[in-house]
Structure 1
Amino acid sequence: MRQFFVFARKEFYHIFRDKRTLLILFGMPVVQIILFGFAITNEIKNADIAVLDQSRDYYSTRLVQKLTAGGYFRIDRRLQSHRTIEDAFREGRIKMAVVIPPEFGQSFFHLKKAQVQLLADAGDPNTATTLINYASSIIGNYQQELNGQTQLPLTIDTTVTMQYNAALKSVFLFVPGVMTLILLLVSAMMTSITIAREKELGTMEILLVSPLPPPLIVLGKVVPYIVLSFINALMILALGVFLFGMPIRGSMVLLLMECVLFVLTSLSLGILISTVTDKQQTAMMASMMGLLMPTTLLSGFIFPIESMPLPLQWLSNLMPAKWFIIILKDIMLKGAGLEVIWLQTLVLCGMTLLFVAMSIRNFKTRLS
């Protein structure tokens, strides 16, 4: 056992001597969580719009003020006629145009009917739909304000409550996903080059004649990265909580234990990659390209799994990131305990054991 700790300590020294490894291990996750946390969002703010106000009365002016008061829209230009709308869209400076017809206020109060036309650039369908929904909601609130306390007979009053994220902050969605992606990629990438480095540098013979059996050699390679990756997880959690206001409603102890489990899963996957590759570059490319796109597309990080075809839904079950994202959201946002996330935890445990067993088997085969 003493020889194992000496071997693990040697790996620590090797990591700390390599400045590039430390930069990738600690610098890249910090930069990514900050960039992704601010850049990846499904909220739309300060969208440039054009306004064609043909009424120019108090009520139409008030409506335009309502549209721009929430920070979702800002007026890029005020149009003078319908003919200039298409030109404004062609220039690419606006995302939506609002057309208010003549005598807007009079039509609303006397004819009990007033129309507002919304035209959106559907070159990006998701953005166009979101902008239309924002504007429709604001116009609906303005209509209720004008109606005052007047209630029509047989009206249906709908009360909407958003559970777990009342402010609809998109960062609550993306921080767990980004955290999962960073831990998986960094942990797998860093460990995937460990045994591949020994092969490429010709130092594998030293390991062959060492008194340590292959299982302990694999574990000795993993132990330093377990510690460093857990520190990495703590840094990412701290950034998510203090920089983006991400709540932790569940048990902190349970959350940290699940982070350790996912780190072990990621590291064992990286070791598996390293045992089937002979060069560091090959191992790094396999860990980056083989994990980045599948994790991003099939983990539920960006696209809902329920909307995917059935074969892709089955394939997503093979992604460790899918199960960890569910665990993070349940603990951090819903305050769930182990009785809720036991299945996801069991799946990650099974994947970890499978990857470790395959790594040891491949390693022993390579050394025979």
Structure 2
Amino acid sequence: MKRFIGFIKKEFYHIFRDKRSMFILFGMPIAQIMLFGFAITNEINNVKIAILDKSNDTETQQIIQKISRSSYFDIEQEIKSESQIESVFKKGKVKAVLVFEKDFIKNLQTLKNGKVQVITDATDPNMANTISNYISSILQNYIQEKNKNIQPSYQIQTQTQLFYNPAMKSVFTFVPGVMTVILMLVSAMMTSISITREKELGTMEILLVSPLKPIQVIIGKVFPYIFLSIINAAIILLLGYFVFEMPIEGSLLLLALETVLFIICALTLGILISTLADSQQTAMMISLFGLMLPVILLSGFIFPISSMPLPLQIISNIIPAKWFIIIIKAIMLKGASFSIIWKETLILIGMTFLYTGLSIKKYKIRLE
């Protein structure tokens, strides 16, 4: 029995000394519960909206103030005409536009009925529906407070209009999201094991003594996977277009170029992982567990980033998938041009150069 107890103690010591085992046992569950706990929510917070106030009277101003005082919405801007609505949506920040009819206060006082139109960006149908419900709830709460001393009571009629996805098809969200997740994980995973495979097979020495420069080795490792990932992307787009009737409103050339840019960014991230990992198993674990949860939860694919706590919103900025989802939705659903998505494109280009530079630096270190 003493030998058995001694054996168990030895196993405990081995586990506690292995940092990777401790991370899997305690670090990953803590990280997962924190991510799931804060990221997965059906509530909305700080959603940016625009106001088109055709009446511009005391009543509409009071309603606008009540909406802005809530934690659910931030008034991003006030627009002057309906012709500005689509351009505001294409920029991507504003998720809804609140339109007050002309002579709102007059209609409310004489006809006892005022009309408010809620126009939402339905590229994310669940969020669009939630925004409409929240605004309707605030309006109803306002009118109930107003009716305490008024007989007969006032009513506010809410009209909803959906931009880009009037049928509320969830596939319009999932095709771009799934495409992003697949390209990110497959590209990063495949390249993450490329250099570590050389080490395990014993062929790393050939690369070390070859006249190839580090940048040439990295490009050589990435190049074949670019074509394979492009085929993946083409298959997903074709299935989305012909099977699920996913529209492509923008330029096909722009969509193709942006997709290739994201693929290269994901591949260079995989190369960076491969230069950091000592084995294929470690590289695979980092690619799967280090990328899968952040890509799914913090990219805006399923859950709105604006509703997350500020620290997670900041962390989401370093997730390449976040920026590609914004780009692909803007092109496919909104017909956006490069002038709308230039900032997100520059961010992906910057990330690509950063990952490439770090990979070269780490590769040089291993040469010494």
TM-score bracket relative to the smaller structure = 0.5 to 0.7
SS at match of 2:289: helix
Q: What CA distance in whole angstroms lies between the structure 2 residues aligned with 1:191 and 1:269? A: 8
Query: Which position in structure 2 is the counterpart of 1:191?
Result: 191
> Which shifted more, 223-232 or 256-265?
223-232
Name the aligned partner's letter for residue 316 of structure 1: S
Q: Which residue of 1 aligns with 2:270?
A: 270
Q: CA deviation at 1:242?
A: 1.2
RMSD over aligned CA atoms reads 2.1
1:233 aligned partner, one-letter code: A
Instruction: Determine helix, strand or coil for the equivalent of 1:167.
Output: coil
Cα shift readout 1:265-317 (whole Å, capped 9, x = no counterpart): 00000000000112111111110110000111111111100001111111100
Q: What letter corresponds to residue 219 of structure 2 in structure 1?
A: L
- For residues 155 and 185 of structure 1, the distance between their equivalents in structure 2, rounded to whole angstroms, comes to 51
Q: Distance in 1 between matches of 2:156 and 2:346?
A: 46
SS in 2 for 1:162: strand
Equivalent AA in structure 2 for residue 323 of structure 1: W
Q: Which residue of 2 aligns with 1:216?
A: 216
Partner of 1:233: 233
Equivalent residue for 2:165?
165
Residue 158 of structure 1: how far off its partner (Å): 3.8
**Residue equivalent to 1:180:** 180
- Write the deviation string for residues 42-68 of structure 1: whole angstroms up to 9, x where unpaired: 9xxxxxxxxxxxxxxxxxxxxxxxxxx
Tell me, in whole angstroms, the C-alpha distance in 2 between the residues paired with 1:367 and 1:203: 14
How is 1:64-103 mapped onto 2 (pairs within 5 angstroms)? none
Matched, 1:336 2:333: no
Distance 2:177 2:202 in 1: 38
Mapped partners of 1:354, 1:343: distance in 2 = 16
In structure 1, what is the Cα distance between the partners aligned to 2:304 and 2:155?
34
Counterparts of 1:282 and 1:207, CA distance in 2 = 21
Paired position in structure 2 for 1:249: 249
Deviations 1:212-264 (A, max 9, x none): 11110111011001111111111111111112111000000000000000000
**Residues 91-126 of structure 1, C-alpha deviations (whole Å, 9 max, x = no match):** xxxxxxxxxxxxxxxxxxxxxxxxxxxxxxxxxxx9
Whichever residue aligns with residue 321 of structure 1, its letter is A
Query: SS of the counterpart of 2:290?
Result: helix
Identity rate, percent: 64
Distance in structure 2 (CA, Å) of the matches to 1:359 and 1:281: 19
1:159 offset after TM fit, Å? Answer: 3.1
Q: Which deviations, in whole Å up to 9, do the C-alpha atoms of 1:116-137 show, x marking residues without a partner?
A: xxxxxxxxxx9xx99xx8xxxx
SS of 1:224's partner is helix
Q: 1:335 & 1:175 partners in 2: Cα distance?
A: 16
Q: 1:156 and 1:217, CA in 2 relative to 1: closer, same or farther beyond 3 A?
A: same
Q: Which runs of 5+ in 2 are unaligned?
A: 1-41, 43-125, 134-151
**Residue-pair matches, total:** 222
Shift of 1:156: 4.9
2:224 and 2:321 map into 1 onto residues whose CA distance is 22
Larger Cα Rg: Structure 1 or Structure 2?
A: 1
In 2: Cα distance, 1:348 partner to 1:299 partner: 14
TM-score of the aligned structures, taking structure 2 as reference length: 0.58
Name the aligned partner's letter for residue 227 of structure 1.
Answer: F
Using the alignment, how far apart are the partners of 1:157 and 1:286 within structure 2? Answer: 52
1:1-368 alignment, distance < 5 Å:
156-368=156-368
Structure 1, unaligned runs of 5 or more: 1-41, 43-125, 134-151
Q: CA deviation at 1:170?
A: 0.8
Matched letter for residue 169 of structure 1? K
**How much has 1:338 moved relative to structure 2?**
0.3
Supply the AA of the counterpart residue of 1:249.
E
Distance in 1 of aligned mates of 2:204 and 2:158: 69
Code of the residue aligned with 2:251 in structure 1: it is S
- SS in structure 1 at match of 2:166: coil
Alignment partners' CA distance in 2, 1:360 and 1:234:
30
Shift of 1:154: 7.1
Q: In 2, Cα distance between the equivalents of 1:154 and 1:312?
A: 42
Q: Distance in 2 between matches of 1:156 and 1:310?
A: 34
TM-score between both structures, scaled by the size of structure 1: 0.58
Equivalence for 1:37:
none
The residue identity in structure 2 corresponding to 1:270 is G
